[in-house]
Amino acid sequence: MLDADLVIGFKQGDDVRAYPHVILDWHEIVNDNIGTVSVAVTYCPLTGTGIGWNRVIKGKETTFGVSGLLYNTNLIPYDRETNSNWSQILSECVNGPLLSQKANLIKLFETNWKTWKTIYPNSKVLSTNTGFSRTYGRSPYGDYNTNNDFFLFPVPKDIRLPSKERVLAIVDGSDAKVYRFENFTSNNIIKDSFKGKNYILVGNQNFILPFELESNTVELQFEYVYSGTEVVLKDNEGTEWNIFGEAISGPRTGQFLKSAPAFMAFWFSIPAFYITDIYSN
């Protein structure tokens, strides 16, 4: 992989895994088991959305596949247990026996390969030995990711931002709030509120991390301390927090910051599904 290639990362205990976009561009879904966690890493190359779902639904473990269907140019997976169709961006079943069932989100971390391998040099990486003959590393859609005027299918467009700009979206019901990499140019920490909830976002030019602040964390004062290790935050009590929101040293060791319902995406895809606000410094 090239240093600039994007990967989606997941960590469970000491098991750390990376799923490269160059593979997900072709296969879109990876069903994996990491410790006690059954995860579906879903990725839509047309909307740039990587979202993790728990594969245990109503007490039964399932796997997800690619239905071949799209809505607003976004991936429609199906679960093999009930053959129900799901909207990836809405994380909700839209057709079949599980209609209206919400997927339980699993926190993923998206960044470039250089950043990921610096943070986790011993990470496992999804192999290109998939059993399929694909030109991994060459997008099946040409310059789609960077060409703001290139769309394969009709989709609503919101001209407030460039269509293919990568943004982070926090979603809540029918609403979303979007954060841009440029928001973190002068300050690596943003504290914000959205729909009555408090959030802290940590970012630089390579990643954006969102966490929801609860009653036991909202009063903490955080400092950005990222220096190439997994530690990104240190609070006024002396606890250090990693990129997955886990306290790995200090008085709160073993605790977690609450994951925000959020994911990276191409800008156009968020207002196509949600009433969308854009954060402004």
**Looking at the structure, do residues 13 and 119 belong to the same domain, yes or no?**
yes
Question: Are 203 and 192 within 8 A, CB to CB?
Answer: no
One-letter identity of residue 95: N
- What percent of the chain is predicted at pLDDT more than 70? 100
User: Residue 204 has what pLDDT?
Assistant: 98
Chain segment 51-78, per-residue pLDDT in tens: 999 999 999 999 999 999 999 999 999 9
One-letter identity of residue 98: L
Positive or negative: CA dihedral 192, 196, 197, 198: positive
**Looking at the structure, do residues 15 and 93 belong to the same domain, yes or no?**
yes
Torsion over CA of 153, 159, 165 and 169, rounded to 10 degrees?
-90
User: Residue 128 has what pLDDT?
Assistant: 92
Whether 192 maps to a domain, the answer reads yes
Query: Distance (Å, rounded) from C-alpha 124 to C-alpha 18?
Result: 6
Query: Distance (Å, rounded) from C-alpha 172 to C-alpha 126?
Result: 31
- The structure tokens listed for 232 are 């990104």
- The structure tokens listed for 209 are 């991390």
Whether 93 maps to a domain, the answer reads yes
* Distances, alpha carbon 225 to alpha carbons 20, 107, 182, 192, 260, in Å: 26, 21, 19, 20, 21
- The structure tokens listed for 155 are 């989709």
Statement: residue 81 has pLDDT above 90: yes
What is the domain extent for residue 41?
A: 6-125
**Looking at the structure, do residues 22 and 76 belong to the same domain, yes or no?**
yes
Query: Distance (Å, rounded) from C-alpha 141 to C-alpha 49?
Result: 15
**Looking at the structure, do residues 110 and 207 belong to the same domain, yes or no?**
no
Indicate the SS3 state at residue 154. Answer: coil
Whether 199 maps to a domain, the answer reads yes
Question: Are 208 and 200 within 8 A, CB to CB?
Answer: no
- The structure tokens listed for 208 are 């954006």
User: Residue 39 has what pLDDT?
Assistant: 98
**Looking at the structure, do residues 98 and 198 belong to the same domain, yes or no?**
no
What's the CATH code of the domain at 44? Answer: 2.102.10
Whether 278 maps to a domain, the answer reads no
User: Residue 253 has what pLDDT?
Assistant: 98
Q: How many domains, the chain?
A: 2
The rounded mean pLDDT for the chain is 97
Least confident of 133-137, 169-173, 211-215, 260-264: 133-137
Chain segment 231-277, per-residue pLDDT in tens: 999 999 999 999 999 999 999 999 999 999 999 999 999 999 999 99
Statement: residue 161 has pLDDT above 90: yes
**Looking at the structure, do residues 24 and 121 belong to the same domain, yes or no?**
yes
Chain segment 204-229, per-residue pLDDT in tens: 999 999 999 999 999 999 999 999 99
User: Residue 281 has what pLDDT?
Assistant: 83
Statement: residue 14 has pLDDT above 90: yes
